[in-house]
Amino acid sequence: MEDKKYLIYHGLKCPKENHTLESLKYFENFQIDVLDLFCISYPKSGTTWMQEIIPLLLNGGDLTPVESIPNWERVPWLEETRAVLFLDKLSAPRTMVSHMPYPLMPPTFSSSKAKAIYIARNPKDVLVSSFYFHQMASFLDDPGTFEEFMDKFLAGQVLFGKWTDHVKSWRNTDLGDRIFYITYEELIQDLRGALERMLRFLGRQMSEEALDRVTEHCLFKNMKKNNMSNYSLVPQEVMDSSKSHFLRKGIAGDWKNHFSPELEDKFNAVIQKELEGSGINFPWD
Ligand code: PPS
């Protein structure tokens, strides 16, 4: 049955607000350049944060682009309708984000030399963040109660499918040292240190002073004020900031304010079973 709000792509829900058959074709046929850089995330894991961080690491810490170009234009989503408008205009290295699982990446991605950064976040906080996002974004279904939304999340009936499928798909790649793994929690704990590690992965250098500036700029309290990144440019009828802000709390562990002990047991049981044998260890385990 045709869904009003979502396109179903290889079984994954993609919002029609910013995904079309054409945009997904563009994604599939995208010709990857050796210098391209991908930032991959399951939704609500720190995508917007990376759209702020990466351009600054690549340009030596010049704040001009992140303060003058909207995040979806400076680091576009490869699968979204806006990619075709903005990607061709970017100078190398082109940087883009994607919520796609690894097996759906454009066929030339794995044989290319393009690099990828994968950011993961505690799925309990992903769930909480997504719950509020569904309340404020008119292009998404009403989430219902928190428990109802958790059931949908665990069943993978949410944007881009199951969280566990996503993280597992990106751990089992043949990308070798072309991929760098980082977590939202590491950025929260030591942003400067995480930026230094990403700089090394990207083969870039930055003065201590520039690194201080970038770190300060990318703190939640400062990014929240950046109109090019806080989604205040989006009309209220599309994202209703009176219900929730896109840059909402920006902390690790907000799930503790939302999970009862019963919900925590249920959530842990499903996630642990699905990650069993994967060999993946996360800092929140
Ligand atoms: S989306 O819709 O997939 O693009 O969302 P995404 O950007 O991946 O995730 C949104 C959450 O990331 C938080 N965020 C930050 N946290 C800390 N510091 C900084 N600088 C930052 N920037 C974005 C944002 O607030 C959302 O998390 P919650 O928990 O809802 O606050």
What distance in angstroms lies between residue 246's CA and the mean position of ligand 1's atoms? 7
- What are the φ/ψ torsions at residue 137 (nearest 5 degrees)? -95, 115
156 is a domain residue: yes
The dihedral over CA atoms of 162, 164, 166, 171, expressed in degrees to the nearest 10, equals -170
- CA dist 26 and 85 (Å) reads 11
- CA dist 8 and 236 (Å) reads 26
What distance in angstroms lies between residue 279's CA and the mean position of ligand 1's atoms? 27
- Best probe residue, ligand 1, of 49, 215, 259 (max atoms within 8 Å of C-beta): 49
10 is a domain residue: no
Query: Please, what sign has the CA dihedral across residues 181, 185, 186, 188?
Result: positive
Structural domain including 29 reads 18-275
Residues of the chain whose pLDDT is less than 50? none
- Best probe residue, ligand 1, of 129, 243, 249 (max atoms within 8 Å of C-beta): 129
239 lines ligand 1 (CB under 6 A): no
Looking at residue 261, which CATH number applies to its domain?
3.40.50.300
- CA dist 103 and 17 (Å) reads 24
Q: Is 252 left (phi over 0), alpha (psi -120 to 50) or beta?
A: beta
280 is a domain residue: no
What distance in angstroms lies between residue 129's CA and the mean position of ligand 1's atoms? 8
122 lines ligand 1 (CB under 6 A): no
Q: What is the pLDDT of residue 1?
A: 52
For residue 210, give both structure tokens: 């520039």
Instruction: Indicate which residue of 99, 134, 166, 245 is catalytic.
Output: 99
**Global pTM exceeds 0.95:** yes
1 is a domain residue: no
The dihedral over CA atoms of 63, 44, 143, 265, expressed in degrees to the nearest 10, equals -150
Nearest Cα to Cα of residue 232 among 16, 47, 67, 70 = 70
> Which residue's CA is minimally distant from atom 11 of ligand 1?
44
Residue 94 is given by DSSP the state: P
Q: What is the pLDDT of residue 2?
A: 64
> Which residue's CA is minimally distant from atom 10 of ligand 1?
44
27 is a domain residue: yes
Contact 25, 83 (CB under 8 A): no
Q: What angle do CA 25, 6, 106 make, to 5 degrees?
A: 25
182 lines ligand 1 (CB under 6 A): no
46 lines ligand 1 (CB under 6 A): yes
- CA dist 128 and 259 (Å) reads 9
> Which residue's CA is minimally distant from atom 25 of ligand 1?
247
What distance in angstroms lies between residue 248's CA and the mean position of ligand 1's atoms? 7
Which residues make Cβ contacts (< 8 Å) with residue 56, sequence separation at least 6? Answer: 62, 63, 66, 214, 217, 218
11 is a domain residue: no
Total domains in the chain come to 1
284 is a domain residue: no
For residue 274, give both structure tokens: 């699905």
Q: Is 99 a catalytic residue?
A: yes
What distance in angstroms lies between residue 93's CA and the mean position of ligand 1's atoms? 24
- CA dist 283 and 285 (Å) reads 6
285 is a domain residue: no
